[in-house]
Structure 1
Amino acid sequence: MTLQAIRPSRFPWFRYDGYSFSLGLTHGDGAWLSGHSASEYDPESGRIVVRGGMTDQARTAYAKIGAILDAAGLSFADVTRVTENVTVAGLDAYQEAAAVRAEIFGEHRPAVSTVIVDRLLRPAAFIEIEVHASAGGATAAAGGVAEAPDGTIFLPTVLPLDEQGDVVAEGDLTGQYAYCLERADLLLRGIGSSLDAAVTTYDYTTPATRDVYRRTHAVRKERLGGAGVYPGAGGILMSRLHRPGVLVALDVTASRHPLEAVNPGWARYDTLTYTPGVRAGGMLWMSGFAALDMETQQALHPGDVVAQAEVTYGAILRVLDAAGAGPEHLLSTIEYVCPEGLSAYRGVADVRKRLLREPWPASTGAICAGLLRPEFLIEVFPAAVLP
């Protein structure tokens, strides 16, 4: 089963040819869309612009998504997960976007992941939205959990908030991290699964927690990998999260399928609580990758985001190869770039065009406050289908 680019016959916002990503890809009965903001081509200025406040921007983004889904023979009723990347500047108005989402989906309840990002690549954008869809939609469960027909289980973003909405373990990253993992496990057990079935855990913390982040290793070791396979993982620093006092936000994806670790032979993962790749059914879920020398643990090419992207995508291709796949099987990439890497970030597109293949993966890009290793300028979260 091959990936196919979704190509709407009418897409009035901009010409989508020539990029190193697709508007979205189909795989069988499912579709993975790139992140879409309110960007559109302005013929008067000859530039891509973003107009309006949060409500207008959310409506434009969802209009684009609707057109892409329609071109794939799908609709909003088929959406299984929504990821809304919301900027720090737009956070106070986020309820406006939530209201637009509620209006569009009605009684349908996909899982909703909310990622607070420092900025988006279009400076005026407040929100960028990506979705996964599958014919027939998801089976919704308590707590905002949604299960796709292929056995993929999407959890909503898990925050360290108790039943009353109060922050737990205030000022304690490891306490909040443990709470989020326990909450994710409870949500999964509610549908007859558990955290042992996790294929990815992506966490978002703040720069103030960087020095104590290593302490989460013990928390993860105690609660993850019960089926013999640790999930893929990634960690991104954002200057602000969902609420004051929240030190971590956790996004978890799980699978009904048996899990198999995929490792090209990197010994460093023998002592870590995450795995380069996890095979589950027809999917390959991967950890986040940056410009790390897998043997020496040294960060490579400090200050050069393009050279770092070359190493990063090289590592992703190594994992794909170990799973019996290639760049043409790459389904999705999420790129987080630090402010220091922005001036040269356009050059990353050339790296993608050289190393990746058509139909080009769906992709989302956002600006973070930093990465766990200060030398890193870019980290990529990838996912792929297996041939």
Structure 2
Amino acid sequence: MNEPLRTPESLGAWPSEKTFSAAMRCGELLLVGSQVSLATDGSVLHADDPGAQLAIVLRRVEAVLQSGQADVSDLVRLLIYYVPAEGFDDDAIRRRIARWLDEPHRPVITLVPVPWMAEPGLAVSIEGVAMPSMSRVRGVGAATGEFPQAIRCGRFIHVGAQMAMGTDGEVLHPGDIVRQSEITMENLRQVLDAHGASLDDAVKFNIYYVGEGTYEDWEVAARVRARYFREPGPVATGIPVPALEKPGLLIKMEMWAMLGEDGSRLPREYSWPENHWDWAIHLPYKHGLLCDDMFFVGGQIATDDQGTVLEPGDTEAQTDIALRYIDRVLEHLPGAERRHIAKTTTFYKGGSSAMEHARNLKPREAWFEPAAPVTSEVALPALAYEDMMIEVEVLGRISHG
């Protein structure tokens, strides 16, 4: 069974009647939920100092790892959402995290700038994946020389954010999302190839792109990405953000892949329920994928099979629909049940507001009982479609216990 690890008592957590797990053992993975600078009473620590918040969050990640008999050297993946400020940008955060970690044990890393966090005053949240006591093979170093582009550890290949960036740190083809998408997809292909894998081995694909929540923002680059996958493809989640870390940079992508340690392709099952929601254009991705004993469900949204938003603008109603869709996807993956969910990420349209956060948090905390997964909560000014309010993705591991 997956084993939840509760937040150490000295740490704060997302304001919720049922505290989500701080970490979850999921097979050989130790999943660390989003850590933020909240006190145990829910107040923000150092609301006016993002650098101080980052220091607190890194200590909390370390404490959560220790609660799972792991340490920072076991990290293979970090995902950081942050609110940019003077002296608190992508480069500054990378340098601080690089100092926190030992050179031989740095994970892949993805940083995503956002205009605000789910709760007022927060400036940074960090989630992670560790694989304790497992040997790893690092990919070639990133352009900065600080973090690898990919790490192969057991049957997992973790690929950090890939972008259309030159070795000098300059944006390639600034403002051209089509060309940047092509370069980024080629980067992903090459990184996987260096580990003996291909895009066919991808299981989870996340895309962050500059957009304002319109079909036009999303459609052109989605068609480019789709050309690189054969059907059936991985699960996918695409998230618009107002800006990325450098002017002219319009898209970045990260990926999980799975491959047998002997290089063999692992058994897979796919889920695409009848009369389920679909994109407005044909794409190769599937809603759910079971690879070996791990399952992944791409971002579930409240649209119909023509890509039309249901219950437009209604957060509570769309949350209910997205959760019901997750159940439907799991029903078509042999052995997968809601209780096997180990991690959830929720992207929702809303400001930095405890009230807006609660509109989707309360239904979700009740629905996930007794799974108690780790969680990440990301508030944004818009999602992929106009009047779309929420997108929820999950992953987990089947168990017969």
TM score, norm. by length of structure 1: 0.90
Instruction: State whether residues 24 and 30 of structure 2, in contact with CA within 8 Å, keep that contact through their aligned partners in structure 1.
Output: yes
- What do residues 81-140 of structure 1 show as CA deviations (whole Å, max 9, x unaligned)? 111111234784443432332222112121111122221113222210001111125432
Instruction: State whether residues 207 and 369 of structure 1, in contact with CA within 8 Å, keep that contact through their aligned partners in structure 2.
Output: no
Q: 1:91 and 1:262 mapped to 2: Cα distance?
A: 45
Partner of 2:364: 352
Say if 2:43 is the partner of 1:48. yes
**When the two structures are aligned, how many residues end up with a matched partner?**
378
Give the Å deviation of 1:217.
Answer: 3.7
Amino acid at match of 2:339: E
Q: 2:211 and 2:26 mapped to 1: Cα distance?
A: 37
Give the Å deviation of 1:21.
Answer: 2.0
Say if 2:259 is the partner of 1:260. no
Partner of 2:331: 321
1:310 to 294, 304, 320: 320
Amino acid at match of 1:35: S
2:113 to 109, 116, 119: 116
* Inter-CA distance 310–209: structure 2 relative to 1 (3 Å threshold): closer
Q: 2:152 and 2:25 mapped to 1: Cα distance?
A: 15
- What do residues 24-57 of structure 1 show as CA deviations (whole Å, max 9, x unaligned)? 111234211111012113xxxx552221633321
Say if 2:395 is the partner of 1:383. yes
Q: 2:13 and 2:38 mapped to 1: Cα distance?
A: 11
Amino acid at match of 1:127: V
Amino acid at match of 2:326: I
User: SS state of the match for residue 170, structure 2?
Assistant: coil
Identity among equivalent positions (%) equals 21
Instruction: State whether residues 351 and 381 of structure 2, in contact with CA within 8 Å, keep that contact through their aligned partners in structure 1.
Output: no
Partner of 1:372: 384
Q: 2:98 and 2:302 mapped to 1: Cα distance?
A: 40
* Inter-CA distance 277–47: structure 2 relative to 1 (3 Å threshold): closer
Structure 1, unmatched stretches of 5+, are: none
- What do residues 348-367 of structure 1 show as CA deviations (whole Å, max 9, x unaligned)? 23312332222411101112
Greater displacement, 26-35 / 78-87: 26-35
Q: 2:42 and 2:332 mapped to 1: Cα distance?
A: 42
Instruction: State whether residues 6 and 24 of structure 1, in contact with CA within 8 Å, keep that contact through their aligned partners in structure 2.
Output: yes
Instruction: State whether residues 338 and 378 of structure 1, in contact with CA within 8 Å, keep that contact through their aligned partners in structure 2.
Output: yes
User: SS state of the match for residue 155, structure 1?
Assistant: strand
* Inter-CA distance 149–317: structure 2 relative to 1 (3 Å threshold): same
Amino acid at match of 2:389: L
* Inter-CA distance 13–32: structure 2 relative to 1 (3 Å threshold): same
Give the Å deviation of 1:15.
Answer: 7.0
Instruction: State whether residues 156 and 258 of structure 2, in contact with CA within 8 Å, keep that contact through their aligned partners in structure 1.
Output: yes
Partner of 1:13: 11
User: SS state of the match for residue 185, structure 1?
Assistant: helix
Q: 1:49 and 1:341 mapped to 2: Cα distance?
A: 13
- What do residues 265-295 of structure 1 show as CA deviations (whole Å, max 9, x unaligned)? 347479322110122222112211111123x
Structure 2, unmatched stretches of 5+, are: 142-147, 260-265
Q: CA RMSD in A?
A: 2.4
1:301 to 300, 306, 311: 311
Instruction: State whether residues 200 and 231 of structure 1, in contact with CA within 8 Å, keep that contact through their aligned partners in structure 2.
Output: yes
Partner of 1:277: 288
Say if 2:361 is the partner of 1:361. no
Partner of 1:240: 243
Instruction: State whether residues 50 and 88 of structure 2, in contact with CA within 8 Å, keep that contact through their aligned partners in structure 1.
Output: no
User: SS state of the match for residue 163, structure 2?
Assistant: coil
Instruction: State whether residues 53 and 123 of structure 2, in contact with CA within 8 Å, keep that contact through their aligned partners in structure 1.
Output: yes
User: SS state of the match for residue 315, structure 1?
Assistant: helix
Give the Å deviation of 1:330.
Answer: 1.0
Amino acid at match of 2:43: I
Instruction: State whether residues 335 and 381 of structure 1, in contact with CA within 8 Å, keep that contact through their aligned partners in structure 2.
Output: yes
* Inter-CA distance 193–92: structure 2 relative to 1 (3 Å threshold): same
User: SS state of the match for residue 14, structure 1?
Assistant: coil
* Inter-CA distance 208–171: structure 2 relative to 1 (3 Å threshold): farther
Instruction: State whether residues 38 and 57 of structure 1, in contact with CA within 8 Å, keep that contact through their aligned partners in structure 2.
Output: yes
Say if 2:102 is the partner of 1:97. no
User: SS state of the match for residue 216, structure 1?
Assistant: helix
Q: 1:193 and 1:15 mapped to 2: Cα distance?
A: 38
Partner of 2:145: none
TM score, norm. by length of structure 2: 0.87
User: SS state of the match for residue 157, structure 1?
Assistant: strand
- What do residues 139-179 of structure 1 show as CA deviations (whole Å, max 9, x unaligned)? 32214134354412111111111233222222221111111
* Inter-CA distance 195–142: structure 2 relative to 1 (3 Å threshold): same
